Amino acid sequence: MAPPAHRVPHLMNDLFGWLAATDAHPLIASSVFHYEFEFIHPFADGNGRLGRLWQSLILARWNPLFADIPVESLIFEHQAEYYQALQESTRQTDSAPFITFMLRMVLDTVTSSTPEVAQEVTPEVRLLSALGREMPRQQLKEALGLKDDEHFRKAYLLPALEAGLIEMTIPDKPRSSKQKYRLTDKGRLRLARHGDGNRPRPA
């Protein structure tokens, strides 16, 4: 259970204060921050994405390599283990299981992939690669090899829409049965920057 709402500002201030003062290695400090952020759970929704973003930012300030292999990419194919590590750390009241998991993800990624390859497995790049033309939601989900509708919506569709990488063809009727999605200019630029030769793999 998340702490009571009235304690959140104090707990977050403490967490940021700890981050500013700690002499722990950035790999450790970023993992601790990530776990504690999830434990405090300051928002009603989106805590996972923000926690992963914060760890990516902390790591990228230490080593620019992590701008190309963000934490979202590290855990993309290991989501069940990610949540299990969070739960185990909470059960033990010790962030060590989560730190161990994150260090393994970092090690596996930097020893087996180049930054360019790591980028290609991110949800946003996979979605942009699949969306070569206007497509309805179901067709896009199938093109990505996904089966779970909620996972597709939260991990792929909504982030891409919010980032302005894709847009609805009928924006004033978002639930229309004729609704389709297409790349925006921003999405096309992002796709060109990554290269569109690699088609998405089934999840």
CATH of the domain at 113: 1.10.3290.10
pTM, 2 dp: 0.55
How large is the average pLDDT for residues 116-128? 65
- The answer to whether residue 189 scores a pLDDT higher than 60 is yes
Do 136 and 77 lie in a common domain? no
The pLDDT confidence band at residue 84, using thresholds 50, 70 and 90, is: very high
Of 120, 145, 165, the last residue of a domain is 120
Nearest to 75 by CA among 118, 139, 134: 118
Do 97 and 81 lie in a common domain? yes
Do 127 and 186 lie in a common domain? yes
CATH number of the domain enclosing 152 = 1.10.10.10
Structural domains in the chain (count): 2
pLDDT of residue 194: 65
Element at 174 (helix H, strand E): none
Percentage with pLDDT > 70 across the chain:
89
Domain encompassing residue 25: 5-120
Q: Which amino acid is at 161?
A: L
Contact criterion met (CB below 8 Å) for 119 and 129: no
Contact criterion met (CB below 8 Å) for 131 and 181: yes
